[in-house]
Structures are given as C-alpha cells and as structure tokens.
Amino acid sequence: MNIADLRKSYEKAELNENASHADPLQQFAQWLQEAIAAEVPEPNAMTLATVASNLRPSTRVVLIKGYDERGIVWYTNYDSRKGQELAGNPFAALQFHWVELERVVRIEGRVEKVSDEESDAYFHSRPLDSRIGAWASPQSQVIDGRTVLVTNAAKYAAQFMLNPPRPPHWGGYRLVPDNWQFWQGRKSRLHDRLRYTQEGSGWLRERLAP
C-alpha cells in the first residue's frame, strides 16, 4: 500500500463558537471527560514539546496528572532532557490527540515547577514500584544495559524498603496556558478549529481556517 493513499473522512462531530465554552479550560475539561467516558486508549496521554538552547525542538509523551485554573500538571525527572531544556527555555507546548473522537487539543504557555508540597503529595500516592523507579532510572542518560536499571531498583528497594522519599531530582511541572487550540475533524478536510488567546483577564475566541 502507498502510504500517501492512507486517509479517512472525519464525520463524528462538530465544533462551533455557539456551542463551545467561552473559557478554554471548561472546553478542555469537557473534551477530556468525554474521552475518558468513550474509553479511548490512554486519554490522559499528551505530547510535550520543548526547545533546547541550540533551538532544536524535541517531543515525548507524558501523562497529565492534574489541571485547574493555574494550568496543566505532569511529573518527571528534572535532570532528564526535557527538564534540562525547560530549565534553559521555560516555554513549551502540549498536544492531546484523541483519534477515536477525531479531536486534537493544543496548549502553549510558560512552564514552572509545582510546589514541593504538591510534588511530595503526588509522589507518595504512586505505587511503590513507581517510587523506586524514580530513584533507579537516570533518565535520558546513556546506560550499559537494562541490568543497570534492575540493579538500581534492587539497591534502592533494599535501602528504602516501603518508604522511599521523593528524589530531589523528581517532581512536577505546570504549564500555564496563554494559547489553546481545539480541532474537530470534519468532512472534506473542512475541519473546525477554534483558538483561544489570552486577552487581559479573559480569552479571545477565534475560528482559524483548517
């Protein structure tokens, strides 16, 4: 099969200004809950894009762990590639793609670390294996093989037993949005696309050509 011939017609739903929320966070919350209710695979998965000091972008998939009027939260290793890039350039973009619902949400903004209290609370809510894993993996660093991870996990499990503390290199980030885009696939590639741009204390909602 010629990969250029792969295509589908998007006909599941529509998105218009009258039916959408004036506040993008409410629109996001509605779509996320609909994705969860539809049982799409990993509705909480989002692509995170960062830019290094050499201006080269990179992406990876992370999981949303919270959202409110302050922004979108995820947790990771601060020493990882994404952590280092955010330390040098604290702006990023997120993207949710709910294929089964023919929907995409794009979010842009400044990134900040969450408080130690928030990071501690989430870390201690994680399964024990995940807490040990945060100590065992020198994320983004070159290692000799999987044996390094297994050995590290065994070492830290023996050291901390059932109560591993949160590693100092591990915690949460919050993206504070200043731009949202909601995309709903439509027939004949005439997709619905709404952009919300921060304007004072509110949001300017505009339709973009697909």
Half-sphere exposure of 40 (CA within 13 A, CB side): 17
Q: Reply yes or no on whether 106 is catalytic.
A: no
Task: Report residue 73 as tokens.
Answer: 């939260």
**Active-site hit among 70, 189, 193, 207:** 189
CA distance 165 to 36: 31
Task: Report residue 26 as tokens.
Answer: 């409410």
Q: Are 160 and 152 within 8 A, CB to CB?
A: no
* Cα-only R_g, the chain: 20
Task: Report residue 127 as tokens.
Answer: 């399964």
Q: What residues are labeled active site?
A: 189
